[in-house]
Amino acid sequence: MSNNNNNHNPFLLHKRICENNRDEVVELLKIPFYRENIDLRDAHGYPPSHYAAHFGYVELLAILIENGADPTRKSTMGWSLVQEGIGRRDREVISYLLQHTKKKIHDEFKKRKPQLLKALSEIPDFEMGTTYIYLKKMYIKNIYINFHFISLEIHWEFKSWVPLVSRFCPFDTYKIYKKGSSFRVNTTIVGVEGITFKRGQLSFMFIGDKKRLVTVDFGKKEYAEVSLLNVDENNVDDEVDLLMNSKSITRVKLLQDDIKFEAAKSWFGYEKFEKIGGDQEWNCQLFNVSNVDLKIISRKNSKDKGANDKNNKKHKEIEDVGGGGVETSTTNTGISETGRSDLNSPEKNSETMKEYIARNHDLAMKQKARESTMRNKVNAKDYFEVPDSFDINVPITDKSKFKSLGLLCDGESVNVKHKNFQGCVWISNEFPRKITDLLPIFEVLTPTNKLFSRLSEFISLKFPMEGFPVKLDFPVVPTITATVTFNNYIEKEIDPQHFEIPVDFIKKKDLFSNNN
């Protein structure tokens, strides 16, 4: 063991957590070493908080978080604290972690706001519009999503190899106005009814000087604040119900290390160039993209089958968009008013939203917390043994060394598979903006629609040449790919009234983004 550990056992806090020894945990946290390393992962890849969540020790979990433990801290294998609670089916743990996770994300976003506002104010004012169309069979006709700034258009095209998926594809046009540190996004999809997308006039407004993100329904003459932080107990309970009833927890991680770019060639062996950009055409060089690896990890429990199997067929996988790389889950075709994916939507024409929420709640309340498969393992004499080479200042990054795929409960299993993706990117030196100019807009929009997070990740890749990726392909989830094209960039003066909520519009209950 490295001398950097100041003669303290770095895994003693982990061990006392597993023993449910409250007094010892409190005493250890009085020692600076353990407070400063409260999120330290052990040799198996888990911080102390993950053991507390897994075993259902809510009091110890609260003590850790009150002493500075990060509720968004993941295990080395990528599982979040909330997901450990979902695997256990522990309502109290999930509810506690959900609130503290949202608070953490809210606080971090609040800290980032001054930077975002500064970055937005430095971008020239423009209009921009976007069109969404979802899921089209990969080997048939393409479907388009236009994303245009009247200074810039962004054209989206979604494709899928799944048969019949194209029948459920919506289409939409986003129009984005940017002035100073504010911007507004107009869309026509206002909700989902069964498998039908409801049309209307909906806008998301980020009002920079007031640091507000609001959604405005011009059809209903209503508006609501969009927040990362949900303080309404009823809303938290509804979300916990959805998580408790999930059929599986699925993570889709984009592995970027082996991505390759190769200049596309014509039949005669010449490098390929194309003009992209609608009315304003930019010369672009075309590159083939290969070795894009989607790693799909699913946690399922055999005890979910049987009596509840009929309902479980409606439950989709739990979403997880993590930092440090694109990570999400398969796959939701429903998008609600806030841009959230519905995990278990009401049955079309047979169930009201109130009945659906009540059914979800009844199912969740019937579930009991599951037993751990880890008790004998953590009680083994050598489980918390510190490797000779262990150094708290050098995090273990080689995940192949970890045999564990999670802190599993009775009946739970993990399945890992990979899906390879190939695509293209068109890069231009003539596009008038830099990638970093658009990232602040996408970051603010991410709470309303996580496709912006995915887009940000891909346009931030290290490309084979200088310039802007005017058009690019990327995977959204394992069954769906997207092609995004930036068109028609024109800077112009924007009317300030675009960022004002009409005085006769009624304020509705706040909306909350899904950031589990």
- pLDDT tens-digit map of 361-400: 556 565 677 888 899 999 999 999 998 888 787 766 555 4
Q: Domains along the chain? A: 3-91+370-392 (1.25.40.20)
Q: Do β-strands 506-507 and 222-227 pair in parallel, antiparallel, or remain unpaired? A: parallel
User: In Å, how far are 86, 134, 138, 208, 515 from 157, measured between CA atoms?
Assistant: 34, 7, 11, 30, 25
β pairing state of 248-255 and 282-301? antiparallel
Q: Which SS3 state, helix, strand or coil, does residue 374 take?
A: coil
Helix axes 435-445, 91-121, angle to 10 degrees: 140
Question: How buried is residue 427: exposed, middle or buried, by Cβ count under 10 Å (0-12/13-18/19+)?
Answer: buried
Q: What is the pLDDT of residue 117?
A: 77
What pLDDT, on a 0 to 100 scale, did the predictor assign at position 331?
A: 28
β-pairing, 248-255 with 222-227? Answer: unpaired
Retrieve residue 44's tokens. Answer: 């198996």
Which residue, 34, 38, 29, 39, is CA-closest to 76?
Answer: 39
Q: At what angle do helices 435-445 and 451-459 cross, to 10 degrees?
A: 160
- Between the alpha carbon of residue 510 and those of residues 124, 341, 368, 507, the distances in Å are 31, 17, 31, 9
List of long-range contacts for 14-20, beta carbons under 8 Å, 24+ apart: 14/42, 14/46, 14/47, 14/48, 14/51, 14/384, 15/378, 15/384, 17/48, 17/51, 17/52, 17/55, 17/57, 17/60, 17/64, 18/51, 18/55, 18/378, 18/379, 20/55, 20/57, 20/60
pLDDT score at 380: 93
pLDDT of residue 473: 85
Helix (H, G, I), strand (E, B) or coil at 28: helix
* C-beta of residue 472 within 8 angstroms of C-beta of residue 459: yes
Residue 313's SS3 state is coil
- pLDDT tens for each residue of 121-165: 777 776 654 444 333 333 323 333 333 344 455 656 666 555 555
Positions of the chain with pLDDT under 70: 1-6, 126-174, 189-198, 228-235, 305-367, 395-404, 447-450, 510-516
- Which residues make Cβ contacts (< 8 Å) with residue 364, sequence separation at least 6? 91, 240, 241, 244, 245
CB < 8 Å & 24+ apart, contacts of 468-471? 468/427, 468/428, 468/429, 468/431, 468/433, 468/434, 468/435, 469/425, 469/426, 469/427, 469/435, 470/276, 470/277, 470/282, 470/284, 470/426, 470/427, 470/428, 470/431, 471/276, 471/284, 471/424, 471/425, 471/426
**What is the rounded distance in angstroms from the CA atom of residue 57 to the CA atom of residue 48?**
11
Return d(Cα 154, Cα 485) in angstroms, integer.
5
Written as six digits, the tokens of 256 are 């970027």
Closest to 253 (Cα-Cα) out of 419, 82, 469, 105: 419
**Tokens linked to 494:** 């924007």
Q: Are 86 and 246 in contact (CB under 8 A)?
A: yes
Q: What is the pTM of this model?
A: 0.72
**Residues pairing with 254 in the sheet:** 294
Closest by CA to 340, choosing from 211, 189, 145, is 189
Question: Tokens representing 140?
Answer: 């048939």
Nearest in space to 135 (alpha carbons), one of 78, 197, 66: 197
Instruction: Report the amino acid identity of residue 101.
Output: T
pLDDT for 154 equals 63
